[in-house]
Structure 1
């Protein structure tokens, strides 16, 4: 199985990790540093959805 989850700008990794943790806490998902493969699909999806929602809101404010 191929994974394409690499960070294109390595210097951004810490910021992305903080952003992910903030989004997870907003939706009530308990993320931990490192492996989070024990999350349900619903939990992982809600974190990703919250991240996208915040990115879209940020982009719209800049328009």
Structure 2
């Protein structure tokens, strides 16, 4: 005789506090890194363009 299996409802998995903290911190850190990279790129490209303009003017006026 087979025993009737009672279907248990799956309760939402709570997860550990450690997993929740990591799940929150990792995206925030990733976003901050992307923002820092974009900022560094824009600032350094502006500096490079200014230096290139200065060198160009120096070459033109030194002839």
Which TM class, normalised by the smaller chain length? 0.3 to 0.5
Q: Which protein has the bigger helix share?
A: 2
**TM-score under structure 2 length normalisation:** 0.39
